[in-house]
Structure 1
Amino acid sequence: MDRQNFEMLNFFINNDALTLRELQTHFSISRVTITKNIREINEYLDGVAQINVNQSKFYLVIKDYSAIAKLQTTFLKQDLDFNDPAKRQVTILKELLRNTSNYVIVDDLAESLSVSRGTINKDLRELKQMLDFYNVRIATKTNKGIRLEVNADFEYAVITRNLVGKYYELESTWDSATDAKLTNLIKQLDSSNDTVTMVKRNLAVIKWLRKYDIQVNDKVPNYHQLLSDDSTEALRDLLTETIGNSLSPGEWDFISYPLNIKKLATDDKVLVKLALADIQGLMQVVFPIIKQKLDINLDFDRLLMELRYHLLFLINRAIFDVKSEGFISVDMLNKYPVSTELAQFTLSSIAKKLNIRIRKQEVGYLTVYFQMELEEYMSAPVIHRVALVKPISNSMKRFITEQLTDALNDDLQIDIFNSKSDLEKSPEKYLLIFSNSFLPGSAMGQHTPIIRLNSVFNQGALRERLQISLVDEAISHGLCKFDVTKFMNEKSYTKGVRQLINQEITDGQLNEEFLEDWAKREELSSSIFGDGVALPHVIDKSGLNRILVTVGLFEKPVVFDNQKVNVVFLVAIPNKLDAELSRVLSQVYDLIRSIAANSNIFNNLKNYDNNRGLIQLMEAI
């Protein structure tokens, strides 16, 4: 049993039934991790105890109390060996926090943890990387040792809660009567049990830091208190009494932040108004920065009205590194590339302006807001023409209309022709032609796909053909460029993508800056879409107004980010993106998902002939 599972078991021993949310709040880990840990604990405790669940609450049933007591004693003895590198690193951090006024000698750390100096140095390198997110450094001075350095003293509290608190229980050192009062006063402001737990945990952190002469004195920069002094006076008085000394502004900010990361009925209207004014001032600086990176004509004033509360609480969360629920998967983010880009630009710009760090999980929520605004931006109606060649009944016409309207989300114009010859006389370009007659493409002179009437009952196949036709239509109008390359003996994902980019640079479709931007993007996040598909997408500053899709097919799968990759879809998104190109980009991503999901379409892609056009992907689907 590892340390985290042991701490979770102890938490169950010391508490009654616990909700998943309470466990998540206490341990600062995801629901998936909690479920995995409970499964591992149950496997380890087989025959001794069992964590059960009843009506969304988890509880521990102990069958052998003596075995549990022996387990606790044995684990604590093993705990002194510090075989877990993460445990050692947090223990080093704990020692540095205990001695912020002095230097800690590395050899003393090695001796106390019963490991070599080399092991401690390796742990320090990893700990420094961990602390870098919090703007906390480990300074070294020759012949003296190491010590912590922070930009702002509230970071002491944040790293104590988030890092030390993972491995060491910072116990609540107050009596049950005080605990009951605390619960009551917090619930007067916010009735959530999660908030009560978080405030008490933060109080325990401050009391622990006080033991080692660490006091968070200054108010936290860029943080917004939303509760008035009058409404929180009783709680602050009790906290002061519990700590045993005056409560500094920074300590109050830290302890009470759970009351300021969501909208509450008890919020002070004046304070909220001032906070929102700050957010508006910030975004008046940030939005022009975003527009420089991706020139898209959204209604940013309307967007700000939708976003302002979310941004207010996002910033308050980020300051204290409160993790939000990452409810949007990477696959979902890949579905909305432009909105994701806008969300990432927004977060990076805010982080830079306020000198804070923002977790990647925040991208998902923001993406949703941008996507809603983008859909408003793309809402201008587009008319697609479809041809029906008789004989066809009115009921079949109505059925086809309903199916296509549901799939297109655009206006539909259906033209009905009595014969093939009548259709040939039409000057229109049709998205699809429905007929049970034999209509050779050469005779039509427009290479529009012919759909047999019995195919309309297979909605999946109809939707896939529609997606191919929409992108093909965009290609014919110069709004999209689509090429396929078959890699010869290429065994590296990055080399393959470089080859695609260099080909397009040679053809005048991309500039050299695109290659640098792609490399930077790969460092930020994975481009692996899943199912053997890689989907790198980058903003293109060449000035060409089209969506570029260049596909690379590997002879044999290559491995990147521990995942197999069979095909690369490199998508270049124009820096200046109007509503029409935004719509085409959405259609391109729909098509890529269909290719990844349908083996027949993917086989057609593997045999792709760049001289025949996109319609060849429809064959045998």
Structure 2
Amino acid sequence: MLNFFINNDALTLRELQTHFSISRVTITKNIREINDYLDGVAKININQSKFYLVIKDYSAIAKLQTNFLKQDLDFNDPAKRQATILKELLKNINGYVIVDDLADALVVSRGTINKDLRALKTALAFYDVKIETKTNRGMHLKADSDYKYAVITRNLVGKYYELEATWDSPTDVKLTNLIQQLDFNTDTVMAIKRNIAVIKWLRKYEIQIDARVPHYHQLLSDDATASLRELITEMISSSLSPGEWDFISYPFNIKKLNADDDELVKLALTDVDHLMQVVFPIIKQKFDVNLDFKRLLMELRYHLLFLINRAIFGVKTEGFISVDMLNKYPVSTELAQLSLSSIAQKLNVKIRTQEVGYLTVYFQMELEEYMSAPVIHRVALVKPISNSMKKFITEQLKELLNDDLQIDIFNSESDLEKSPEKYLLIFSNSFLTGNVLIQHAPIIRLNSVFNQGTLRERLQISLVDEAVKRGLCKFDVTHFTGKSTYTAGVKQLINQEIDCGQLTHEFLTDWAKREELSSSIFGDGVALPHVIDKSGLNRILVTVGLFEKPVVFDNQKVNVVFLVAIPNKLDAELSRILSQVYDLIRSIAANSNIFNNLKNYDDNRGLIQLMEAI
């Protein structure tokens, strides 16, 4: 949690609950303990429901980040025990380790060791490293590539042990200078030194990475790194193998450096291009969005190059986009997840979930470019209305819509009645009669124009209502009866839509898989499960489920479920409507009056009823 505060600006309680999946009480307790621990160094403050870190001593924080996980914890800590077990398995890579010996060494029971081994096997599975057992002999580690021993040593053992790497002060100064000639960044210097320590430690136990690491790209020439490699060779008392240099030097190759060799970069980007020429058709087959993939690749290629290098060595990145933010961009997130899963499969690497956020940003930028084709919305003004008021309304709506606007002015209600056009909104201070409300659009009083928040909410409702009337969006509301759970409620919504031919049974299976990947809890009592719909129907489906009493899922309360089915074939118009649907859902979550209108929703009256009393 402390690292999360160090790497983020002000955080809301909901963001903390979503990220850590823990209760409000636990978060408060953790923050209190962190403040006690940081006494005199830094403090987590709160201002208007947002928590933020105030640092008083930056050098102390930097030292703490490096060392606080390596303090001498006792073996009552399961994570420390598991790191110790892994350390013993690595030290005996060519032999076997016996469970009883581990229990004696750690002064715990055999049952405790077996429990730790189960947890350790799960952690190692991410790296494709196994703990194999042979009867009457014991356990040993097995990896398909030797470099993975270095990765798990750095990520899992190095978290708690210094690995006994030492060299004299003059050597350290020279090493630092040579690294900084290539990259002056302090984190890079520390990472290279840590990797040297890992290689030295592994060699003590006869573990050497001989072969080059597959799919990994070196971006620095041999000439540029010759002096550094020569010094490291002296430090470890023998020449470096190609695989060892790949591991030691990877911090240079996960970002753009001035020292990069142009030819090596060009070759690496060519490999990325060839990979994505295979991946993009796979994505389009699963989710048919007509993006300019050629242009997207030009934007993405450097990012993908560094992403692949990070993935190969299990490098963690900060998830700078929260789950809440990802929920705002469902299509882009889906495209990012499909891309990462395809890349991982093609290269046989594991890619961390934090990478989704970065890739989502690129897809969202391209998607917004794709949706930028002009759309003309018609708005009616019924006199009496001044030219200055017309200008003001036009400017307000253009700012909110980001689309072209056609404003028609009518001298009277009867003139409006004669118009064959459909209007998004009608502005008037008169009480219009007849069927104008039904035939044309919602009536907006002129004083609403001065409240941009209210105007935005009315506009969001009108946009989705317009899509519903055109058959491009379907909106249904269900009240759950009796004692229901989140999972049972969503299944009920899906089955209802299957029964009326809106969804297929495959959608239910896809939703279950999606829930395993990431949380659908949007916050503020709202759940937002969204799944790709393969029914072939050309519309956005929104089916709402309201609980009689809040239910708890993922340690959070849920009052309402917005289940969104996104067509497998998504054109620019449907993409725009989907964005409008998500804007409306956020307004419903934030405005209690709109939410109360939703709770009293009448299927015969349509979405316009959500505007009442807002």
Same fold (TM over 0.5): yes
Q: Given the superposition, is the C-alpha separation of residues 288 and 89 from structure 1 closer, same or farther in structure 2, using an over 3 Å criterion?
A: same
Q: Distance in 2 between matches of 1:271 and 1:245?
A: 27
Aligned to 1:27: none
- For residues 455 and 50 of structure 1, do their structure 2 counterparts lie closer, same or farther at Cα, with a shift above 3 Å needed? closer
Instruction: Report the CA distance between 1:322 and its aligned residue.
Output: 1.0
2:33 and 2:94 map into 1 onto residues whose CA distance is: 41
Matched, 1:416 2:403: no
**Identity, % of aligned positions:** 78
Give 3-state SS (helix, strand or coil) of 2:394's partner. Answer: helix
Kindly state the Cα deviation for residue 444 of structure 1 after the two structures are TM-superposed: 5.1
CA distance in 2, matches of 1:490, 1:333: 30
1:162 Cα deviation after fit: 0.7
Q: Does 1:208 align with 2:201?
A: yes
Matched, 1:93 2:94: no
Contact 2:165–2:201 (8 Å) recurs in 1? no
Note if contact 2:461-2:610 (Cα within 8 Å) is conserved in structure 1: yes
1:553 to 2:546 alignment: yes
1:430 aligns with 2:429: no
SS of 1:617 mapped into structure 2: helix
In structure 2, the partner of 1:496 is: 489
- CA, structure 1 residues 399+526, in 2 after alignment: closer, same or farther (shift >3 Å)? same
Q: Distance in 2 between matches of 1:544 and 1:254?
A: 50
- Across the aligned residues of Structure 1 and Structure 2, the Cα RMSD in angstroms comes to 2.3
Alignment of 1:113-128 (within 5 A): 113-128=106-121
Identify the match of residue 569 of structure 1 among 562, 581, 589: 562
Say which is worse superposed, 292-301 or 37-46, in terms of deviation: 37-46
Match of 1:474 among 453, 467, 479: 467
How far off its partner does 1:172 sit?
A: 3.3
Tell me the residue number matched to 1:244: 237
CA–CA separation in structure 2 for the residues paired with 1:54 and 1:119 = 40
The code of the aligned residue for 1:196 comes to V
CA deviation map 1:362-384 (0-9, x unaligned): 11111111011111111110000
Call closer, same or farther: CA 1:54–1:232 in 2, change over 3 Å.
Answer: same
Hey, what does 2:135 align to over in structure 1? 142
Distance in 1 separating the partners of 2:55 and 2:503:
58
Note closer, same or farther for the CA distance 1:316–1:56 as it changes in structure 2 (3 Å cut): farther
Deviation (angstroms), 1:110:
0.8
How far off its partner does 1:167 sit? 1.1
> What 5-or-longer segments of structure 1 have no aligned partner?
9-18, 22-29, 62-71
CA distance in 1, matches of 2:154, 2:434: 69
337, 347, 353: which one pairs with 2:330? 337
1:251 Cα deviation from its structure 2 partner: 0.7
SS of equivalent to 1:558: strand
2 CA distance for matches of 1:184 and 1:396?
67
Q: 2:170 aligns with which of 172, 177, 187?
A: 177
Aligned: 1:514 with 2:515: no
- SS at 1:482 equivalent: strand
- Quickly say closer, same or farther: Cα 1:502–1:444, change in 2 above 3 A: closer
Contact 2:437 2:443 in 1 (8 A): no
AA aligned to 1:58 is S
1:41 positional shift = 6.4
CA–CA separation in structure 2 for the residues paired with 1:116 and 1:487? 49
Shift of 1:58: 3.4
Change (3 A) 1:202 1:302: same
Q: Which amino acid aligns with 2:586?
A: R
1:275 aligns with 2:295: no
Q: 2:151 aligns with which of 135, 148, 158?
A: 158
Paired position in structure 1 for 2:48: none
- CA distance in 2 between counterparts of 1:20 and 1:179 reads 28
Structure 2: which 5+ runs fail to align?
Answer: 8-15, 21-27, 44-53, 63-67
Alpha-carbon spacing, 1:233–1:379, altered in 2? closer, same or farther (3 Å): same
For 1:387, what is the secondary structure of its paired residue?
strand
How many residues are matched?
579
CA offsets per residue over residues 559-588 of structure 1, 9 Å max, x none?
111111100000000000000000000000
Is the contact between residue 42 and residue 56 of structure 2 (CA under 8 Å) also seen in structure 1?
Answer: no
Post-superposition offset of 1:38: 10
SS in 1 for 2:120: helix
Equivalent-residue separation in structure 1 for 2:566 and 2:55 (angstroms): 50
TM-score by length of 2: 0.91
Per the TM alignment, residue 443 of structure 1 is displaced from its structure 2 partner at its CA by 4.4
| Cross-structure match for 1:328 | 321
Report how far residue 447 of structure 1 moved.
Answer: 5.1
User: Offset at 1:321?
Assistant: 1.1
Give the deviation of 1:59 after TM superposition: 2.5
Give the corresponding residue for 1:15: none
The one-letter amino acid of 1:169's match is: E
